[in-house]
Structure 1
Amino acid sequence: GGAGLAKRLGTLLSGLLECGAFCGIIFGWASLVFVLKDLGYFEGLCQPSATPGPNFTLGSDCSEQDEQFSLVFTIGSFMNNFMTFPMGVVFDRFGTMAARLIAISLYTGGTLLVAFSTPETAVLLFPAMSMLSVGGIFLILTNMQVGNLFGNYRSILITLYNGAFDSSSAVFLIVKLLYEHGLSLRAMFLFLAACSAWHLLRTLFLMPRTHIPYPLPPDYDYGLRCRGRSRSYRTYKDKPPPGEAGPEETPLEPPIPRGAGGIIWSAGVGLTHGEGPEEAGAAPGEDPPGTPFRACACSWLFAWHVAWLSAMQLRHYLFIGTLNPQLEHLARGDHGLVSTYTNAFAFTQLCGVLCAPWNGLILDRHKRGKGPRPEGNWALAALADLRSAVLSLVVTVAQCLLFSVFAAVPVLPVQFGTFVLQVISRSFLYGGNAAFLAIAFPPQHFGKLYGLAMALSALVALLQYPCVALVQGPLHGDPFYVSV
């Protein structure tokens, strides 16, 4: 019905706003560092030079200050990934509402810590950024299930939300620009804290208490409702006969045993060869027992996926963590030039929400067009999904290699191209990661597997700190060899 579709669109658009304005703001760290330096955070770590300039930080050796800011980002980005696993367990076990209440509490606490921090209490940035990053990743984890509401566009919406997550890093650019126009850092972060009331209202009215199933039942409803209203968007008489359901409520494939939307798993082995529910040992119309989480987590498919994610994520974290000192090195300390390039980098992050759906088109391309579709055989349908996912992973690797080549060129104007390639590569990376896990594994384990993949990749991402220390120390602010 129209009311049901309006509610789903409200959930979709409000989720896009939530991901695009709040979830991944820590990755705009380079813009916030500019403000924090101007306010004098960690300024005591600067060593006066022989010829101090008008700006203390430019007339001083502030490599230790840069290292401290880099450590804040390293810990925050590590927590963003590492804590996703316990958060995923909470999401799978207790449902959407419990997960979002925890996320909102963390996010609000983080914004308040930044709002009330001062240069004398700069150490508060450590817990603040960690709470912001964990709260943000928890919010997007609860939002990715919204793709289940829109059948043929499931992967596109998952990647779109991840692209919005990338674009949210531009929020700190807005903070920087407003700060330069006289608005205080405290006022801006108090506003972000007040926005938690909106997150709470969305949790109550536009999100389910538990999970959004896939495929979607035709009478599915969610959120708080007026008393006496049917759980369904339509009454029994309004429901179409079987086979005539609308596109949003018609599953792409017949219900897949051991979890719709996932590759058909036999414990610890991988793909089966197309046995139906009866052959798998279940009575007609019943799903067989689900695949254990351990069988999925210990599979080679998951292991190689984590290796793929870890390597490319480390590359992106290194680039973000060393961007400010790299720009200062290439601009030879020109404060205005560094600000210009920092703004350019932050502006390109806004394009993440535009780039990510391209990956979704690759993932969902076999579900459109006039060619034969494998709907009659759920095993073939799952294999078609997996083939599309493999192509997506290959394209993402090629983009990351090209981005790394540009990043290694020590020419300042070339960095404009690096910024563009970085945002395309990053949006493909995270959108593809989430969509692949949704396609390749049973949905009842999505939160745990997504969290485990991010947690394991976070351990690898810890290598960024010694790399940054190497840049700030022996390499004297030149990240060329680290980039190579």
Structure 2
Amino acid sequence: MLGCLSGARVRCWLTLASGLLECLCFAGTVFGWASLMFVLKTEGYFSNLCVNATGSNGTHYTGDVKTLPSSPTDCSGQDERFSLVFTIASFMNNFLTLPNGFLFDRFGTMVARLLGISLYTTGTLLIALSHPETSLLLFPALCFIAVGGILLLVTNMQVGNLFGTHRSTIITLYNGAFDSSSIVFLIVKVLSEGGISLHYSFFFLSTCSVIHLMRTFILMPKKHIPYPLPEGYTYGLLSHRYSAPPGLCGRMTCGHARPRIVDQARKEENKGPLQGEGGTETMTFQLMSNKQTPQTVSFRQSVLSWFFLWHLVWLSVMQLRHYLFIGTLNPMLNRLTAGDPVLVSRYTNAFAITQLCGVLCAPWNGLIMDRHKGRKRAPGETEEEADLRSAVLSLFLTALQCLLFSICATTPVLSLQYLSFALQVLNRSFLYGGNAAFISIAFPTSHFGKLYGLMMALSAVVSLLQYPCFSLVKGVFDGDPLYINVALTLLSLCAFIHPLYVCIHCRRLASQRRSSTKQLANGGSSSSINREALQDAVDSS
């Protein structure tokens, strides 16, 4: 018995560790675009868009040798084309999460992962086979890498369900690893500077898909990992072959199984107001569990709730700020360094290296939520309420980080950009980890894939504004991003609405709970009092 439980724990930890490495090395590589763009510029991609003072092409080829003209060149057209590549890739990364979320909810993990692996492999192969003459291949290649990577992340986040008490920490850890995977393109840049071809690097990334396939069949479920875990839950390649009772050899449980909270609440409710353990407080808890559990909320109700709307605003304004910063980093550094390629390379490397810290920063967000949730509950407070209460501080800190990051990025001081890099990676890791964690807390687990996908898709539509913003900077403001940065800084203040709303909602629930408990103590009708109060709370959210 002990040996079996120990083996099950090893299996769960292997799933956790391998998923972390997968997200760290592959899932979010597209956000290392600044490093890859540096290599692509050096290789001459879109160089035909550079023009010199006479108006002719700024770069031309003689056989296999690239030559640069002696006269000054204007490569704003090249920068704009690279910006368009990243804009479309980042849009597809988020927008296609919607159909992918439906696919994940409907067909399960295996189908979603096989699609993601196929897309990712196709994208890396397209770059491996591309050349400056076929620069347009970058458009589909980056899109495939982005969409395939986000599918790997979505299927991995459910691993947090295996570790119930640390669920938020693991979800945020995976999102931090997703952010840190941008370091892969820095490695490609360093290898390119060391003489290893860009094409060889991407051929290697393509062959790594064998690892993803092995993990799909051995260490991941065919469908989904439920939450809470039912008794005798199994997953993996051979799990369907076992039929022993829970706890016996072959049953891949990750510790003691937990009964479903909703079913338990419904059973206890039937005992009557004074038959459960704990008297009126227990009855209040039971009715709140039955009424408040997110599992009773439909997909349509979730989408039309204020929670969804304000969370969308919270995510969209901060994501737009980050995307514009990443997409315009190279021209911004060129402007601040007066075009010094050595300084541009140094700051690009510094930015990419700081991205590696995302995997270290993200778990702090989950720890904040899990620790805050662990505070002693008020009488009758449900687990759902405790989850929401724990999310308020996380949502507020994320919005505050974005404001500070935007202020630093707006200030045109080169040395200050080191601080911008640090705040950017901290905020990004909090943003995406907090986004996934909040959706898993505030909405039904059965709708997670669809809601996560819809949230990312709608925020992707907003993120398309980055390209007109870039064009506006290049055209109207003659390359000076100050006014656009100031506007985005002011826009980021809208992110504070969400934590304020959730805080007010939690206070309203607490007030109604205290009022209901007081009326129960005075002999009121427990069923009618609690149901009316709780219905008001549900409607308000």
Other-structure match for 1:20: 24
Structure with greater helix share of residues: 2
Q: What pairs with 1:305-344 in structure 2 (closer than 5 Å)?
A: 305-344=311-350
Q: Distance in 1 between matches of 2:250 and 2:221?
A: 25
Residues 432/277 of structure 1: CA separation in 2 closer, same or farther (3 Å cut) = closer
Pick aligned residue for 1:40 from 40, 44, 68: 44
Q: 1:412-440 CA distances to partner (integer Å, 9 max, x unpaired)?
A: 00000000000001100000000000000
- Say whether the 8 Å CA contact 1:403–1:421 is kept in structure 2: yes
Other-structure match for 2:410: 408
Residues 29/227 of structure 1: CA separation in 2 closer, same or farther (3 Å cut) = closer
Other-structure match for 1:262: none
Pick aligned residue for 1:125 from 110, 129, 138: 138
Q: Distance in 2 between matches of 1:409 and 1:75?
A: 27
Other-structure match for 1:177: 190
SS in 1 for 2:411: coil
Q: Distance in 1 between matches of 2:158 and 2:140?
A: 29
Larger radius of gyration: 2
- Say whether the 8 Å CA contact 1:471–1:477 is kept in structure 2: yes
- Say whether the 8 Å CA contact 2:52–2:71 is kept in structure 1: no
Moved more, 59-68 or 379-388: 379-388
| AA partner of residue 212 (structure 1) | I
Q: Distance in 1 between matches of 2:71 and 2:335?
A: 12
Q: Distance in 2 between matches of 1:90 and 1:478?
A: 43
Q: Distance in 1 between matches of 2:116 and 2:297?
A: 28
Residues 70/233 of structure 1: CA separation in 2 closer, same or farther (3 Å cut) = farther
Q: What pairs with 1:117-196 in structure 2 (closer than 5 Å)?
A: 117-196=130-209
Q: Distance in 1 between matches of 2:251 and 2:428?
A: 44
- Say whether the 8 Å CA contact 2:373–2:390 is kept in structure 1: no
Q: Distance in 2 between matches of 1:467 and 1:278?
A: 47
Aligned residues: 455
SS in 2 for 1:453: helix
- Say whether the 8 Å CA contact 1:322–1:479 is kept in structure 2: no
What's the offset of the Cα at 1:238? 10
Other-structure match for 1:115: 128
Other-structure match for 1:456: 458
Listed as ranges, the gaps of 5+ residues in structure 2 are 60-66, 266-283, 487-541
Other-structure match for 2:423: 421
Q: What pairs with 1:10-409 in structure 2 (closer than 5 Å)?
A: 10-49=14-53, 59-225=72-238, 229-230=242-243, 234-235=247-248, 248-249=255-256, 251=258, 255-256=261-262, 276=287, 290-368=296-374, 372-373=376-377, 380-409=382-411
Q: Root-mean-square deviation (CA), in Å? A: 2.8
Q: Distance in 1 between matches of 2:401 and 2:92?
A: 26
Residues 322/110 of structure 1: CA separation in 2 closer, same or farther (3 Å cut) = same
Q: TM-score, normalised by structure 2?
A: 0.79
Residues 407/215 of structure 1: CA separation in 2 closer, same or farther (3 Å cut) = same
What's the offset of the Cα at 1:229? 4.3
Q: 1:188-237 CA distances to partner (integer Å, 9 max, x unpaired)?
A: 11111111110000000000000001111242210112885456773199
Other-structure match for 2:7: 3
Other-structure match for 2:432: 430
Other-structure match for 2:276: none
- Say whether the 8 Å CA contact 1:23–1:139 is kept in structure 2: yes
SS in 1 for 2:232: coil
Q: 1:309-332 CA distances to partner (integer Å, 9 max, x unpaired)?
A: 001100001110110000000000
Other-structure match for 1:480: 482
Q: Distance in 2 between matches of 1:237 and 1:225?
A: 9
- Say whether the 8 Å CA contact 2:157–2:174 is kept in structure 1: yes
SS in 1 for 2:247: coil
What's the offset of the Cα at 1:372? 2.9
Q: 1:233-266 CA distances to partner (integer Å, 9 max, x unpaired)?
A: 7319999xxxxx98x5455x9613699xxxxxxx
- Say whether the 8 Å CA contact 2:295–2:446 is kept in structure 1: no
- Say whether the 8 Å CA contact 2:288–2:382 is kept in structure 1: no
Q: Distance in 1 between matches of 2:318 and 2:251?
A: 50
Q: Distance in 2 between matches of 1:274 and 1:467?
A: 51
SS in 1 for 2:181: helix
Q: 1:29-71 CA distances to partner (integer Å, 9 max, x unpaired)?
A: 0000000011110000000136989856994100000000000
- Say whether the 8 Å CA contact 1:221–1:233 is kept in structure 2: no
SS in 1 for 2:420: helix
Q: Distance in 1 between matches of 2:357 and 2:456?
A: 23
- Say whether the 8 Å CA contact 2:239–2:251 is kept in structure 1: no
Residues 444/185 of structure 1: CA separation in 2 closer, same or farther (3 Å cut) = same
Q: Distance in 1 between matches of 2:294 and 2:436?
A: 25
Residues 151/44 of structure 1: CA separation in 2 closer, same or farther (3 Å cut) = same
What's the offset of the Cα at 1:343? 0.1
Q: Distance in 1 between matches of 2:71 and 2:351?
A: 21
What's the offset of the Cα at 1:275? 5.2
Moved more, 224-233 or 122-131: 224-233
- Say whether the 8 Å CA contact 1:257–1:277 is kept in structure 2: no
